[in-house]
Amino acid sequence: MAQRTVTIASSVGLHARPAALFVEAASETGLDIEIGRPGEDAVDATSILGVMALGATHGEEVVLTADGEGAEQALDSLVALLSRDLDAE
């Protein structure tokens, strides 16, 4: 299982547009991907309700995990996505 830690760059955190863009990108990988705060239960990264309920805010660290072929590359692209202010684009 691949794992990455990333700091949320979006000024509004993972809410509304940034969450939707993240969920769309996670879904396009076709992999089982989860997102959560370090040390807490993770949620399905392809669930908009799960991601928004996480309530991850700007500057907060989250942990991404993925399982399957191409997991390392998928997480790298998702880390790059979350490292940008998606609400400013």
Just list the catalytic residues: 15
Nearest alpha carbon to residue 56 among 67, 45, 66:
45
Q: b/e per residue, 18-56, with b = 16+ CB within 10 A?
A: bbebbbebbeebebebbbbeeeeebbbbbbbebbbebeb
